[in-house]
Amino acid sequence: MRPIEFTGTSLRLLDQTLLPGEERRLDCTTPEEVADAIRRLAVRGAPAIGIAAACGLALAEPGDFDRAASLLGATRPTAVNLHWAIERMRSARDDGRDLVAEASAIAAEQARCDDELVRHGLPLFGEGERVLTHCNTGPLVTGARGTAGAVIVAGWEAGKVELVWVDETRPLLQGARLTSWELGRAGAPYRLITDSMAASVMARGLVDRVMVGADRIAANGDVANKIGTYGLAVLCAHHGIPFHVVAPLSTVDVATPSGEAIVIEERAPEEVTALGGRRVAPDAADAANYAFDVTPAGLVTSIVTEAGALRPDEVAQAAR
Ligand code: MRU
């Protein structure tokens, strides 16, 4: 699929805004073009945003690093991988290391990390599991296997997962557009539901486990992820269903003590008042558009990282 390709002079992205209808590549050769791609979600998902920003910095003119870092750092506020990758590139610059090599190393390390997430996540599954997921966490979000999506697909390949319930993920439909597309390519069986069907599907006894990704994990284990995730965790607690988060340690922000301090991105109301570019609410309608929510650590069964499947209160130590 190669959703993220970096040549050293160009960042080639599979434009996620056009999926699943069209598979078009976007060539970014400047930090401005990369920032624009991140801002309009042509590349999205926490680790992918970090990788893209690192490549964007490697494309900056000598002497323009700090301006490019500010520009890229201001694109999206919630996913901490963005700032993690920028700070890592800043250290490389300060040490006089090659920035193209550093950005390539960040991407390669993420691919190895994905393998570790699968290694630690796979033993969670029993037999014949029906797993529900939200938003999009497969190859598109890391450029390799993905986070929660990688574990779920590996579970299907190992004969342990028999069905994936895919939340459509309003308002931008990352589940319907992207997760369905990835699972279809992988050949994994899935059924798409509207977000509001999750409670009913659980009440019918049709969900054995929920697995999602994360955009930022606070030091106390609170998890920011796509809007709707918190509701799923509450539903899991009510129905006695395990709720797992799968994320690299670069998503853990040890400087943020709890979820309350996480900045939640608010996007344009038009993303809510329109669907697929067609207005569905009255012209005068206002709308809130919180792109992420925070799931309290107490609702999280485990957080699967490259250091193992951890309790939420163990991730900060692992990240340090
Ligand atoms: O707004 P998006 O599409 O970038 O949000 C993405 C998510 O919320 C994902 O679930 C999250 O980044 C985890 S993917 C590793």
Beta carbon of 186 within 6 Å of any ligand 1 atom: no
Q: What is the pLDDT of residue 316?
A: 98
Ligand 1 atom closest to Cα of 137? 14
Ligand 1 atom closest to Cα of 291? 1
Q: What is the pLDDT of residue 310?
A: 98
Q: What is the pLDDT of residue 177?
A: 98
For 134-169, write each residue's pLDDT tens digit: 999 999 999 999 999 999 999 999 999 999 999 999
| 95 CA → ligand 1 middle, Å | 31
For 34-47, write each residue's pLDDT tens digit: 999 999 999 999 99
Q: Is 66 among the residues known to form the active site?
A: no
| 44 CA → ligand 1 middle, Å | 7
Choose, from 215, 222, 253, 293, the residue flagged as catalytic.
215
Q: What is the pLDDT of residue 151?
A: 98
Q: What is the pLDDT of residue 82?
A: 97
Beta carbon of 75 within 6 Å of any ligand 1 atom: no
Q: What is the pLDDT of residue 132?
A: 99
Q: What is the pLDDT of residue 277?
A: 87
Q: What is the pLDDT of residue 63?
A: 95
Q: What is the pLDDT of residue 182?
A: 98
Q: What is the pLDDT of residue 276?
A: 83
Ligand 1 atom closest to Cα of 44? 4
Positions in the chain whose pLDDT score sits under 50? none
Q: Residue type for 140, please?
A: L
Could you tell me whether strands 161-167 and 4-6 are parallel, antiparallel, or unpaired per DSSP bridges?
unpaired
- Spell out the long-range contacts of 187-192 with Cβ–Cβ below 8 A and sequence spacing 24 or more: 188/152, 188/153, 188/156, 188/161, 188/164, 189/156, 189/162, 189/163, 189/164, 190/163, 190/164, 190/165, 190/166, 191/163, 191/164, 191/165, 191/166, 192/166, 192/168
Q: CB–CB of 234/202 below 8 Å?
A: no
| 278 CA → ligand 1 middle, Å | 24
Could you tell me whether strands 252-253 and 216-218 are parallel, antiparallel, or unpaired per DSSP bridges?
parallel
Question: What's the CA angle centered on 198, arms 197 and 199, to 5 degrees?
Answer: 95
Beta carbon of 262 within 6 Å of any ligand 1 atom: no
Beta carbon of 293 within 6 Å of any ligand 1 atom: no
Beta carbon of 241 within 6 Å of any ligand 1 atom: no
Beta carbon of 56 within 6 Å of any ligand 1 atom: no
Q: What's this model's pTM, rounded to 2 decimal places?
A: 0.97
